[in-house]
């Protein structure tokens, strides 16, 4: 069977059209069963005429997001004349909103991708999470909005990245009995440090699977229950010393843990230092 061919046409980047098209295609076929070609930044009808011509020759269909009504109407009419299947992804939503809000759309391509302050804050937070991941540089502790601490395999890294997309600067520190934690942990407000607790049974299961995925023996000390208990005991001692809040992540998805943290930091006492002086 020949691959299906889809052209994605846009007067901006074309990410929206591609995402929606792929979402629809997933209901019919695997990703390797079609070829998708993106035609971005369309500014004139000649490009659209060429897209329809090639789609006709190859038996392809077209999905498009065009905010310019002239370009949008031309493509629809040209595709109809050439009997090419063509789907307007954005147009019906724009028309419905014009009726609802009683005003015309701005008709400016790419508004959603404008680099605003929120975008830069998110990028900065993501870069921060990468730079200060896994205790790589303890200086990040003092600059972070949140510091996650926990033994290995408590989802510190994915949680840091998830929170970074919420524009929070997150550093994370692995807790290992043989390694002293950075002194900066004891200098920040206690509630900005969040401990990630996990049951020994769950951790044992996770670590065994991790060793197997690496092609290693799952009886290694990394997954040994005695070693795990030693690490968890050390973690508990450290948590008592810091006096920070703790979340049990044993049976929680990253998103669930992140929501708990987001709710915590929205409390009025968040920026207060509750350490005993």
Q: Which residues are annotated as a binding site?
A: 150-157
Contact 132, 144 (CB under 8 A): yes
Rounded distance, CA 242 to CA 107, Å? 54
* Nearest CA among 24, 23, 30 for reference residue 3: 30
- Residue 137's SS3 state is coil
Contact 187, 243 (CB under 8 A): no
Rounded distance, CA 129 to CA 270, Å? 21
* Nearest CA among 133, 184, 135, 192 for reference residue 162: 133
Residues 6+ apart with CB under 8 A from 42: 9, 10, 11, 48, 66, 71
Rounded distance, CA 248 to CA 199, Å? 8
Annotated binding site for ADP: 150-157
Token representation of residue 256 = 């669930």
Token representation of residue 45 = 């009808």
Token representation of residue 29 = 């076929």
Contact 245, 195 (CB under 8 A): yes
Rounded distance, CA 203 to CA 153, Å? 7
């Amino acid at each position: 069977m020949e691959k299906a061919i889809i052209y994605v046409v846009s007067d901006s980047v074309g990410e929206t059209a591609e995402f929606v098209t792929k979402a629809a295609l997933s209901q019919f076929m695997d990703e390797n069963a079609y070829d998708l070609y993106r035609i971005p930044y369309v500014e004139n009808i000649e490009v659209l005429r060429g897209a329809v011509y090639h789609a006709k020759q190859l038996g392809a269909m077209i999905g498009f997001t065009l905010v310019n009504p002239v370009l949008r109407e031309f493509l629809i009419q040209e595709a109809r004349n050439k009997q090419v299947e063509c789907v307007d992804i954005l147009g019906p939503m724009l028309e419905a909103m014009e009726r609802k809000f009683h005003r015309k759309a701005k008709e400016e391509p790419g508004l959603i991708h404008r680099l605003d302050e929120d975008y830069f804050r998110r990028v900065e937070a993501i870069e921060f999470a990468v730079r200060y991941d896994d205790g790589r540089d303890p200086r990040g502790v003092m600059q972070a909005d949140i510091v996650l601490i926990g033994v290995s395999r408590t989802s510190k890294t994915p949680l840091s990245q998830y929170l970074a997309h919420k524009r929070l600067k997150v550093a994370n520190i692995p807790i290992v009995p043989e390694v002293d934690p950075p002194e900066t942990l004891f200098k920040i407000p206690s509630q900005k440090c969040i401990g990630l607790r996990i049951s020994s049974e769950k951790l044992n299961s996770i670590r065994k699977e991790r060793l197997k995925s690496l092609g290693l023996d799952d009886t290694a000390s990394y997954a040994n229950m005695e070693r795990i208990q030693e690490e968890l005991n050390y973690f508990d001692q450290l948590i008592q010393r810091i006096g920070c809040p703790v979340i049990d992540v044993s049976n929680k998805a990253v998103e669930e843990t992140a929501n708990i943290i987001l709710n915590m930091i929205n409390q009025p006492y968040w920026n207060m230092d509750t350490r005993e002086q």
